[in-house]
Each structure stands twice: as structure tokens, then as C-alpha cells.
Amino acid sequence: MLLIVMAILILISGVIRPATLKISHLVEIVRQSVPLGIAAVGQAAVILTGGIDLSVPATITMTNIIITRLMQGIESTTTLVVLLVLLIGAGIGAVNGYFISKFKVPPMVMTFAMSYLIRGGYMVFSGGTPKGSVSPSIRYIGSGRLYGIPFSVILYIAILFFIFVFILNSTRWGKSIYYIGNNKKAAIYSGIPYELRIILTYTFSSVMSIIAGLILSGYIGVASYNIGIGYDLDSIAAVVVSGITFTGIGSLVGAPIGALIITLVNSVLTSMGIFEPAKLITQGSIILIMVSLYGKGN
Amino acid sequence: MGIRILKVRTNKDLVFRFFFIAVIILISSIFSTHFRSQANLINILNQIPPLAFVAIGQTLVILTTGIDLSVGAIMSMSTIISASMMEYGDMLSVFYSVFLIIFISLFFGFINGLFIAKLKMEPLIVTLATSTILNGINLFILPYPGGYCPSNFTNLFSYKIFDIMPLSFLYFLVIFLVFYMLLHYTSFGRHIYAVGGNERKAGLAGIKTDKIKIGVYMLSSLCASLSGLVLAARMHSGDPTAGEDFTLMSIAAVLIGGTTFNGGEGGINQTLTGIIIMTLLTNILNLFGVSPFYQNILTGLIVLVAAIYSAFNQ
């Protein structure tokens, strides 16, 4: 169903602007959708369990601020810094998951409050002025090409492959996110370690946001406070558009496709010369339409 | 018997919160001459209404286990229409603008309620989507802050009785009373609690849950538009992002006040404490010159603590 929508969208954009049907342009669209796709996969896992992660933009921005300041364009620190931010991301997600599962804080409130904490944190860390740049390897990840294909796309496919094949269907956690969202009480009564699974879910989402932040930082190369803007709405839109619901229905695999759809729509609108206002209106309308269409199946 | 237990629990929480507020006010008054000043009191009285109206509306929605994320966009819309369509010295244009603002807000509230009640979609998603659409429209009409709100409009809100109490605060008191009576002395209000407590059973008991839900979202949008009008009068201009922060601030106020997302518990008295606490907090932090960065962290922490505390008490 999702792929049909995608095909239709590509056809429509081809009619509006024939240039969009060139392979190079389609590859470019995929490249643009990479950070969103990764963040959307994390968001999808969270939404499947009936929650939501509003700390995505703050996490992405935090990644950018930290790595630019610590790397300063020097190569040698790369591995350590990347490990550091991944650890920080895991920590953020774990805290989110902990409070949501143990203290029953509503996910919306928890992740929103967390985003305020993160924002305050990186503001204090950077003292109000974003400075620095990423190391050459990160730059390569975000903007380099391998045999003409953007490296980030290759990395993206590798990450998705790893997640979908090894994590989602093979680990107990991966399988449980579906039924936790579908019937929380039943899931708890069935004896699974509910709190641990929730913590893992939010940790997963935050780590995904960090990875998205790394790739995005590689693309822009410098520090910026605005890098994460829009990723909260966009990641939720990408998930929702792909048919994933808050009740554990839908497949995680749909998330990257949802991200692709959102990116495609944005790109078509931009190429038509329509700017921010209409993009917002279109995005909102798409969400409403797609979700109500999916809802008929419930 | 269940209701009586509920009331006792509610009263204890309420008293605790008001006590907390009293302590904060006391300490601040002792330690800061600025806080005690008349100018600061007027400041606080000015800050309360914008947050208060929208938080009252949000309370109603949260009582039905929903959420309304579109309130910020409605507020921005109010400021934009006020700043664009009102003419100086022409009260008719003021009336017409207010009428339009209220009509549009009720329309969006109706759309929200429709999708949520009839199409059974998640409130989070629906209100997020309508908020996005409305923000798009707002940005289209007024891409940058601008416009002008004439004084015959702003005076309606800023005139101070006895030089202390702004009219906007008086409106707040009136609306608060109206909604309090709505919630506690009408069947509509009781039905709101019923729907929030257990929607299925409420439906089986003959309550028209769809109508209640649609009504609640329309009221929330109405309250948001009132907030927007007050904001417009304060800012004297329009701003497409004016309401942005207010969405989550209204939710925070409701949460700090003690109404939970489970629905059916709490009310606007609770939210009142949340509103006062948040306003006082911002006021005190600004007075003590705390940098916005740290204010961010503090706000997040406060919301967190409040959420944990209220979740604990279930």
C-alpha cells in the first residue's frame, strides 16, 4: 500500500517536473531522506509501543554541537568523540525510558521535558555561540561519495539492513515492541520485562537520533543551533504516513519509506517554488488524510 | 463512595499546592524588593491571563484523555488577524476581527473534534496535523512579525483598575468562574468527567461521547483564541510564532496542577495552581537574572518533577 503511494507520488512529481525522474535526482532525494529516515526508524519503535519521542531535534542538535566543538576539524579524535555521543545518546534514551516505564510519566511530557534539559545542556556547553567543525571522516560520511553513490546512502542501507535483519526479528526486544503497544496490560502480564523493553526502545530511538545527527553534521560540516529544527514533526509524520500506529500495528520497515515520502513531497514543493507555509499545510493535510485512510482498516 | 474519596484526595493536593505557592511568594517577597514592588505585581497580573485561558481549555481536553496541540497555532492566528484587520478608532473593525477569530478557532476546534471523535484518530496526531496546517496558513498571511493593533483594542485589555489590576486579569477571573461552573454545575461538565473516566461506560450510560469530545475541542480552541487576543493586545502586533511556546506551557500548567492524562480527574482549580506556579517561576527567574539557558533546564526539571509526582499519586 505504501509503495503504491510512493510510486504515485513519484509519477506526479514526474509530471510536474520531468527532471525529477532522473536517476541522479532520485538518488539525491534518497540522500536527503537519510537523517530523517534514521530518526524515523527510532521514532517508529517508540510509537509502536504507544509512546512518542519529542527529544529527537534536541538530540540531533546536541550531537552537532558536541562533535563540532570536540573535533575542531581534527581527524584523530573521531572514534572517541563518536563513541562519546553514542553513549550520551544511550544515556538520554535510558533516562527517558526509565521515567516513562517506572514512574509512568506520559511519554510526551517526559521527552519534551528532556528536550528542554538537552537544550539547556548544550547551550551551557557551547556558551551561546556554536563553534567548530567536524572531522574529515564525518564529513565523508555526510557528503562523500563512493563510486558516485553518496556514502551516507550506503551507510543508511547498511544500518537499515542491520536493524531489520538482526535486531527486529531476532531479538526478543525487537519482537516485543509490537505487542507492548497493542495491549500493554497483556504484555506486562505475559511476563516480559516490560520496563527493560521500554528503556531499550527509547534508548534505541535516542541512539538513532545521534546517528542521524552525525550524518547531518557531516553534511553541513559546521556547528549550528538550527540543525535539528523540524525533525520532531517530520519524524512523526514519516512514521504516521507509513501506516504505523500507536497500537502496535504497522511494520518498522515502513519508516524509511515514510521518510522518503515526506522528503519527496518537500522536494517537489520546493521545486515548484512553494515555500514554508504551503509545505506545512501540505504536510499537515497529508498526515490527516493518510492516517484516516489507514484508520479505516482498523 | 468513589467520588467522595476522589474529593478528599483532590483537596489535599490542592491545599498542598496553594501552600507551596504561598511559600514561594513569601520567600521571594522577603528576599527581593523588586518582587514586592507594585510594578512587578502588575507584571505578574499581566502574565497570567495569556497562559490561563489556554490552560483552562487544555484542562477540558486533557480531562477527556485527549490533548490539544493546536492551541499555539490558534493563538498565533489571533495575533495575526488582530494586527492585520483592526483599524484605529474603528470599533466595528475590532468587533469584526474578534468575531472572525472566534469563528475560525471554533472551526478548527470542530475539525479536531470531528477527526478525533468520529474518525477515532489519536488526538496527538490530529491536533499536531491541524497545528501544522494552521501554522502554514499563519506564515502565509504574515511571514514576519508585524502589523499593528490599534489602541482602541489594546486598551480593552491593558486599562488598569485602581492602577493595579489590568482588565485582562478581570476577564480571566470571569472566564475562570464561567468554566468552573460549567465543569461542576452543568451536566455537560459532569459528562466531560464521565467520558474521561471511562469512555465506554459513559457511552453505555447514554452520554453522547462524540458530542462531548467535539465540544471540548471547540472550547479549547475558543480559549486559545482568547489567549491570543490578550497576547495581541500586549504585543501590539502580530507574530506567526507567538503561540509556539504556549502549547507546551499550557500542558505543563495542567500537569503541574495535578490533572492527569488518564482523564476524569482534576479540574481547573488544579490548573489554576499550575498557572500561578509557572508564572511565578518565570517572573522570579527573570528577576534574579537567571540566564535563559538555565531557565530552560529548570522548566524541564519542574515539569518532570510535577509529572512524576502526579503519576505517583495514582
A113-127 tens-digit pLDDT: 899 889 888 988 888
Q: Are A228 and A213 in contact (CB under 8 A)?
A: yes
In terms of Cβ atoms closer than 10 Å to its own Cβ (0-12, 13-18, 19+), residue A77 is middle
CA distance A1 to A157: 22
pLDDT of residue A98: 94
Chain B stretch 29-58, residues whose beta carbon is closer than 8 A to a beta carbon of chain A: none
Residue B221: pLDDT band by 50, 70, 90 thresholds? Answer: very high
pLDDT of residue A298: 43
Q: How open is the CA angle B188-B194-B195, to the nearest 5 degrees? A: 90
CA dihedral A130, A136, A138, A141 (to 10 degrees): 140
Higher pLDDT, B208 or B7: B208
Q: In 3D, which of A32, A266, A10, A237 has the Cα closest to residue A143?
A: A32
Q: Do B297 and A117 touch (CB under 8 A)?
A: yes
Q: Are A81 and A96 in contact (CB under 8 A)?
A: no
Query: Which residue does chain B place closest to A230, by CA atoms?
Result: B132
Among A112, A281, A287, the residue with its CB nearest the CB of B248 is A112
Residue B69: pLDDT band by 50, 70, 90 thresholds? Answer: very high
B221: β partners: none
Q: Do B133 and A109 touch (CB under 8 A)?
A: no
Question: pLDDT over 70 for what percent of chain B?
Answer: 96
For chain A, residues with pLDDT lower than 50 are 297-298
Please state the pTM of the whole predicted model.
0.86
Whether the complex's predicted ipTM surpasses the cut of 0.85: no
Chain B stretch 240-299, residues whose beta carbon is closer than 8 A to a beta carbon of chain A: 248, 251-252, 255, 261, 293-299
B127 contact residues in A (CB cutoff 8 A)? none
Would you call A145 helix, strand, or coil by DSSP?
A: strand
Residue B2: pLDDT band by 50, 70, 90 thresholds? Answer: very low
Domain A2-295 has CATH 1.10.3470: yes
Q: Do B311 and A128 touch (CB under 8 A)?
A: no
CA distance B239 to B248: 18
Would you call A150 helix, strand, or coil by DSSP?
A: strand
Mutant choice from A111, A285, A287, A293 vs B, greatest count of B C-beta within 10 A: A287
Among A106, A120, A284, the residue with its CB nearest the CB of B132 is A284
Residue B1: pLDDT band by 50, 70, 90 thresholds? Answer: very low
pLDDT digits (tens, 9 = 90+) for B102-157: 999 999 999 999 999 999 888 988 999 999 999 999 998 988 898 888 888 888 88
What is the nearest CA distance from B119 to chain A, expressed in angstroms?
7
Higher pLDDT, B28 or A272: B28
B160: β partners: B166
pLDDT of residue A34: 94
pLDDT at B21 over 70: yes
Would you call A247 helix, strand, or coil by DSSP?
A: coil
Q: Do A280 and B133 touch (CB under 8 A)?
A: yes
Q: Do A113 and B303 touch (CB under 8 A)?
A: yes
Three-state SS sequence of chain B = CHHHHHHHHHHHHHHHHHHHHHHHHHHHHHHCHHHHCHHHHHHHHHHHHHHHHHHHHHHHHHHCCCCCCCHHHHHHHHHHHHHHHCECCEHHHHHHHHHHHHHHHHHHHHHHHHHHHHCCCCHHHHHHHHHHHHHHHHHHHCCCCECCCCHHHHHHHHCEECCCEEHHHHHHHHHHHHHHHHHHHCHHHHHHHHHHHCHHHHHHCCCCHHHHHHHHHHHHHHHHHHHHHHHHHHHCCECCCCCHHHHHHHHHHHHHHCCCCCCCCCCHHHHHHHHHHHHHHHHHHHHCCCCHHHHHHHHHHHHHHHHHHHHHCC
Would the CA dihedral through A25, A274, B80, B216 be positive or negative? negative
pLDDT at B3 over 50: no
Q: What are phi and psi of B81, to 5 degrees?
A: -65, -40
Residue A96, Cβ neighbours under 10 Å: how many?
29
Strands A149-150 and B160-161: unpaired
pLDDT at B9 over 60: no
Residue A146 per-residue DSSP state: E
Q: In 3D, which of A193, A199, A221, A54 has the Cα closest to residue A132?
A: A221
Mutant choice from B61, B121, B255 vs A, greatest count of A C-beta within 10 A: B121
Chain B stretch 111-130, residues whose beta carbon is closer than 8 A to a beta carbon of chain A: 115, 119-122, 124-126, 128-130
Q: Quote the cell numbers at residue A110.
A: 517526559
Instruction: Give Cα A137 to chain centroid, integer Å.
Output: 22
CA distance B259 to B193: 11
pLDDT at B266 over 60: yes
For chains A and B, what is the number of CB pairs under 8 angstroms?
125
B121 contact residues in A (CB cutoff 8 A)? 291-292, 295
What is the nearest CA distance from B132 to chain A, expressed in angstroms?
5
Would the CA dihedral through A120, A126, A127, A129 be positive or negative? negative
